[in-house]
Chains A and B, each alone.
Chain A
Amino acid sequence: MGEIRDPIHVFVRFRPDEEKIIGSRAFQRLRYIHQLALTYLVYPGATHRRFEHCLGVMEVASRIYDVVTNPQNIYHDSVREFVPQDIFWREYWGRVLRCAALCHDLGHLPFSHAAEKELLPEGWDHERLSQEIIMGDEFEPLWKELKIEPEDVAKLALGKKKCKFEFSDWETILSEIIVGDVFGADRIDYLLRDSYHAGVSYGRFDHYRLIDTLRILPASPKDSQEPGLGIERGGLESAESLLWARYFMYTQLYFHPTRRIYDMHLMEFLKEWLPDGRFPTEVDEHMNFSDNEVTAGMWKSAADSTERGHVLAKRIVSREHFRWVYEPSSSDQLTALEPGKTVYDALVEKFGADQVRRDVNAQKGGSYDFPVYTKAKEIDSSLALSPTLSKVPTFSVDRVYVSTAVRDEAERWVAKNRDKIIAGTGGEEHSDGTPSES
């Protein structure tokens, strides 16, 4: 086994045949893709890359696999029936899982950009690009040498949400080990890693305990027998801690207002700077694009007013990002169906569309309902057992920003007219105090 030092997992160990994946051009490209895009402009330490994250996901996924397939940790016949008992198949799927974990982010765009709908042709996203790479020419000889079916790797790397192949129950569980909504190794690693590098300690939780207590369990022996990833009762607090950590990381880091506006500016710059406003989807061309090319292009554009995207690049390079002037208060929320949109529309009318931006986003995923194996050897719902899980807030943002040129005036204007705008009685007061028609 080779080993790589890692600040989160101390060592990430890899097998000689996995070294070929790590050494591939597609995987090495991840050294040049920032995990958190331009977040380093707000949190200077957040300069870590997809490369080490993918190594970390392999390490975590492998640990989870060893725990949940340990025969001593399988309590139900319905689960025992589909977990391979044969050493050959257990070892095969263990290798597939590790490779899939390594490859799950290969298709990421520069700066891990989330605005894929805007920056890729219709029907494309980074998962589809990952699949193209996994099933493409560069990796074909690797899979042959490893005696692994590329389709199996693609399934586990992308999961049911993005992969159109048919999944067995077993493959579904394995994909959940990597990309699962609650306990996925992807999530476990990125929370710990992002927290560490950004210096935001809220993302930490006891992942050792969490991983040791993960189990494959039927949803409910009294109702549906469908198997899924669950946890032993003794690990419930570490699961709670993970899910609260996720909430705090959204509030403090992922949805940080300045980070979000930089993302929007970057997307606008890319749309103007890229040929046809889109990233290429052909694998070789995709491979030629990393943060390095975009950053160099951005600096060049910012310095030269004749370059494409000059104004947009300057907003990022010179830190002339738009400033946050409004988000709905709790009373605004109860007064209007879409208070953010109402204020945004009014500001656009007053200052012009090029001076105003609106960011609307919410965290993804469902409620935190998973099976828990209790001391009484029964299965219960996590949400029934945990006093806190159903209270983890759902985080969303609805913020309006304006350019620095109109910031002061816009702030005064919003403070003065906000109530009338929200109430739908017009934005601007005339000198006699009556609302305008708008």
Chain B
Amino acid sequence: MERLQRASILLTLNEELRKAGSWAGETHMQKATFFLQGLMNIPLAFDFVLYKHGPFSFDLRDELTFMRAQGFFRLEPQNPYGPTLVAGEKSELLKQAFLQAINKHLSSIRFVSQKLGTKTVAGLERTATALYIVLRESDDVDPAQRLTTLKPHISLPEAQDAVSEVAQIRRELACERAS
């Protein structure tokens, strides 16, 4: 996917997260983008590793900074959590240039935003890490156990809830795609 086209998808994701109740800071953008790429198969080509609050892409971090530099996003202070990312002065120009790509992926973006929009950072961390493990580790690994190993500050019951939630989201997605 071409760079600015990808930026238009990130901009739309930010808008939809906001509509779904998220304060849409960088952590929210990171985890929701991981879902878009890993679960919805949108070819954004970001490389994710387990780092800050779960799946994290250094490329995506740099891309969000680039988008701020270009005026597609800006930071807006929002106490007590720190700033949120909001549409910048050039966002409309970007969206108009890539309306077709945005429309193609809009239902996927909305699905992810609905699932993650109201989560706290801790909630995002648990759910996104659970998806990361489910997608990347072999079937003989207990994903909840593995989650607590990778993230020792997450308890086993919290990890089990997160793994169940991911399974539920995948079932809903399968139903939606079937219909």
Contacts and interface: CB of A to CB of B under 8 A. Distances in A.
Contacts of A91: none
A219 B151 CA distance: 13
Given A225-B122, A337-B90, A383 B66 contact: no
Interface string B84-107: 000001100110010000000000
Contacts of B80: 380-381, 384
A227 B152 CA distance: 10
Interface string A392-416: 0011100000000000000000000
Nearest to B98: A337
B121 A394 contact: no
B125 A394 contact: no
B64 A219 contact: no
B94 A337 contact: yes
Contact of B83 (A82, A172, A220, A367): A367
A381 B90 contact: no
A223 B122 contact: yes
A169 interface: yes
Contacts, number: 101
B70 interface: yes
A381 B120 contact: no
A334 interface: yes
A228 interface: yes
Contacts of B152: 81-82, 169
Interface stretch (A187-195, A314-322, A358-366): A358-366
A219 B77 contact: no
Interface in B11-59: 25-26, 49-53, 56, 58
Interface residues on B, range: 35 or more
A375 interface: no
A228 B121 CA distance: 14
Given A82-B152, A223-B120, A160 B65 contact: no
Interface in A365-388: 365-367, 369, 380-384
B6 interface: no
B153 A334 contact: no
B115 interface: no
Contacts of A369: 25-26, 82-83
A161 interface: yes
A6 interface: no
A367 B75 contact: yes
A295 interface: no
B167 interface: no
A226 B50 CA distance: 12
Contacts of B89: 334
Instruction: Describe B's contact surface by its main secondary structure.
Output: mixed
A337 B4 CA distance: 9
Given A362-B65, A381-B81, A396-B69, A226 B53 contact: yes
Given A224-B53, A383-B82, A366 B77 contact: no
Given A219-B121, A337-B4, A337-B94, A226 B52 contact: yes
B71 interface: yes
Contact of A384 (B26, B81, B94): B81
Contact of A338 (B4, B61, B65, B82): B4
Contacts of A70: none
Contacts of B52: 226, 228
Contact of A364 (B51, B62, B125): B62
B93 A337 contact: yes
Contacts of B120: 223-224
A390 B77 CA distance: 7
Interface string A68-102: 00000000001001100000000000000000000
Interface in A298-333: 333
A154 B176 CA distance: 45
A396 B51 contact: no
Given A333-B71, A334-B89, A384 B82 contact: yes
B179 interface: no
Closest 8 CB pairs of A and B: A383-B82, A396-B69, A381-B82, A225-B153, A394-B69, A224-B122, A366-B61, A161-B58
Interface of B: 4, 25-26, 49-53, 56, 58, 61-62, 64-66, 68-71, 75, 77, 79-83, 89-90, 93-94, 97, 120-122, 125, 151-153
7 contacts: A219-B53, A219-B121, A364-B65, A366-B61, A367-B65, A384-B79, A390-B77
Given A365-B62, A369-B82, 7 more contacts: A160-B49, A336-B93, A362-B66, A366-B64, A369-B26, A384-B82, A390-B75
